[in-house]
Structure 1
Amino acid sequence: MDLNNIEDFLDNKRFVKWLQSDDAELDAFWQSWLRDHPERKDLFYHAVATWKLIGEAPGNWPEGEVDGKLGKLKDLLEEAPEARRYRPVWYYAAAAVLVLAMCIGFFGRQSANDKKDGLAKAELQQPVFKTVANRAKSPLLINLADGTSALLSPGSALSFPEKFEADRRVVRLNGEAFFEVEKNAAVPFYVQTSLLTTKVLGTSFRVRSFEREADASVSVLSGKVEVTAATRKAGNSAGSPGVGSEVVLGKNETVTLRKDTDELLKSGPVSQPGELSDVPGQYSFDLKFIPASEVFSALERIYGVRVEYDAKRFGRCTLTADLEDVPFLKKVELICAGIDASYSLNGSVIRISGRGCLE
């Protein structure tokens, strides 16, 4: 009779029958077995404790019932002594090694599978990222699940989940994009590139990190961001804000990562280079009695969308609102609220409808 682990005991019919009945003959048999195998005394007690916990073979243990079975075991152990006087005292000694049994017995046997299952479940819980590449010659507008807007430069790619995690919002950028982040102080927003990670709570900023270029940079239009470089190369000069350090940027500030020297260099306002030259910051969305038609034109020019509206209904409308630090879709919502209108979005086409300003 080979009894080398807890599973062997739980699969042994004589052992299970002894556990389930008051049989003097079986009592004598297992006491004799223990005398003959003193080196397996602990394993025997572990098997008894495990059976008392689960009442069935481990392979049939229903997922998610651990707590309930632990509770049943606790109730069993807390029974009045009279209620369990019919069992031999040494039978219940197994309960004293329950924790050890669970650690080195049943769970020890399943540890490899548990690790695999744990990794699989962790992977399933991770958000699935979708990648959008801009192969056109003009910026591409991407509206994210939380309301954040990203204006993606030509030759760039953005990876993002359909639904963000509960405690953070993460996107991955290869290239350049201008972000207007939906404010949510409880759920920070991260833009990750191969060289930089930018953390924000709600602001507008530009990230540029092309593999083909010598430098990577982050420029803030409004609010504050925290920029952290991804790695540290050897040989940095002492005192330099090298990779791995954190730099906090405010409005109109820029930080540049020099790939050759591995330094983070903070500076003031700079011109908008490269493919993303026309960003929302170059048109003031701090509106004061601005014709709606002009605002619609600015949306089309900057975000690469087409705005369809009735010029007769909305031609006399003007707007007064501060939309500087507002993501694209919220801009459109607030604009419509100001001119008694509603909108629908179909791809890159926005249709404005409503009463307008005829009177």
Structure 2
Amino acid sequence: METQLHVPTGLPVITKIPIYVEEHKVTEGAMTLIKELRPAWDSSRVKTKFFTDGTTNKLVGLYMEDQPEDTVLVRVYGNKTELIVDRDNELKSFQVLHANGCAPRLYCSFQNGICYEFMPGDALGTQDVRDPALLRLIAREMARIHAIHAHNGCIPKPNLWLKIRQYFSLVATEFTDQASNLRIQQEVPSKAVLEEEMAWMKEHLSTLGSPVVLCHNDLLCKNIIHNSKEGHVRFIDYEYSSYNYQAFDIGNHFNEFAGMVELDYGLYPSREMQMEWLRVYLQAYKTFTNKTEEVSPRELETLYVQVNKFALASHFFWGFWALIQAKYSSIDFDFLGYAVLRFNQYFKTKPALMALQIPE
């Protein structure tokens, strides 16, 4: 049994460049890397584009004016993010997903980041993921990833409980900023309450029978790229990819319908919308795993119940993540406020979700 991904033999070894890029000198560092990766480029003609949507890292694209399609992305890891992201596992995920046609090419790693291929297309927003045509493309692409075998014949184990436990141990109860201290005490449940809920969730959700598959684990809208010319979607950013419960990955994605900067849980997909998504997903998953039978109403209802219950664990996972980021991140985002909203939503929706029953 293992939680680690297995990279098949024969895949190219990742080039490692011994360069450290200063967080406040990203452009200079990126230009040094480009000289290694694209020695033929005229550095005086290299253009840069900053991407500002990330809440974990700094991201810049470099390209020649006459060749914008060959953009090299340079991602510099955020401060202390090694506490919350297994960087070795991220690289393995990148390799496995690229080998299966689900991810861009990884050019190299450097001391505090990676360089990889730009994927053409548009990052989605909260309205896009509700679009019936896009919704079906997303469901199929997730099924494709879930069907990938990267466990070397072993029975894969979910890393959800290990990760939640690890995040919990890193959560700060003391901040140097007094206002943050006050907010933590007044708005965030006590560590005793959080620990009690974690134990309850593990006991309850582990028995729901959700298969353990290769998951993305962070399918927020901006991590879905729609290439309208090719007619497909691809997922980006594999920092949290791992073996996990199938229902967690889907439930986590449904939570992300609410957005991030301005959370609105009124956007959580209705039962009807979920059923359409889950039907497409199950049909695709069966196709990718060589099963021929039709999707039964019982299977559909079972997955619906599993997904909505696992959505609770997603609130906890990102609630803890946000509390850790609130202490260490240099990115301008109200992580503490985000954590409060996630925990509030957990306690608000828990009674109704616990009443759902898996069909006999």
Q: Which category describes the TM-score, using the shorter chain as reference length?
A: under 0.3
Structure with bigger strand share is 1
Structure with bigger helix share is 2
User: How high is the TM-score relative to the length of structure 1?
Assistant: 0.21
Asked which structure has the greater CA Rg, the reply is: 1
Structure number with greater CO (CA < 8 Å, separation at least 6) is 2
User: How high is the TM-score relative to the length of structure 2?
Assistant: 0.21
